[in-house]
Amino acid sequence: MGKKSYRKLERIIKTSRFRAIYQQGVWKASRNFTTITCPNDQGIKRLGVTVSKKAGNAVRRNRIKRLIREFFRLNKVLFPEGYDVVVMAKKDIPALSYQETCRELMELFERKVKA
C-alpha cells in the first residue's frame, strides 16, 4: 500500500483540532469547496473533511466525502508537508463526478498560500 493509502494517522478526527484549524488556518474557496490549511506539530500531511447536512442526504454527503478522500489519497504531492488541511463542501453542492471534483480541488491546491 505505502504512499497511495489513507492511513489513520493522516486523518483529523478531534473536534478540538478542527476548531483550532478554523481559527488559525488560511482559508481558500472555490465554487463548491472551501479549504483551510494550518501547520501542525507532527510533520505529516493530515486531512479533515466536513460536509454539512445542507449538502444533501446521507448518501450524497458520504459520496462527497469519499470523493475528497480519494483525491487526497491519489494526490498527496499537492498537500503541504507538516500541515493539516480541512476540506469543506459548500451547501447545495451539485452532484459532481470524480473528474469534476479533482479539477476543482486541483485548482484550489495549486493556488499559492499567502501566509
Give per-residue pLDDT as tens, 46-67. 999 999 999 989 999 999 999 9
Is the model's pLDDT at 1 over the cut of 90?
no
Is the model's pLDDT at 112 over the cut of 70?
no
Contact 109, 80 (CB under 8 A): no
pTM over 0.75: yes
Q: Strands (DSSP E) along 1-115, which ranges?
A: 26-29, 33-39, 46-51, 83-89
Q: Is 21 exposed, middle or buried (0-12, 13-18, 19+ CB in 10 A)?
A: buried
pLDDT tens-place string over residues 70-85: 999 998 888 888 999 9
Is the model's pLDDT at 111 over the cut of 80?
no
pLDDT given at position 64: 94
Q: Which domains does the chain possess? A: 9-110 (3.30.230.10)
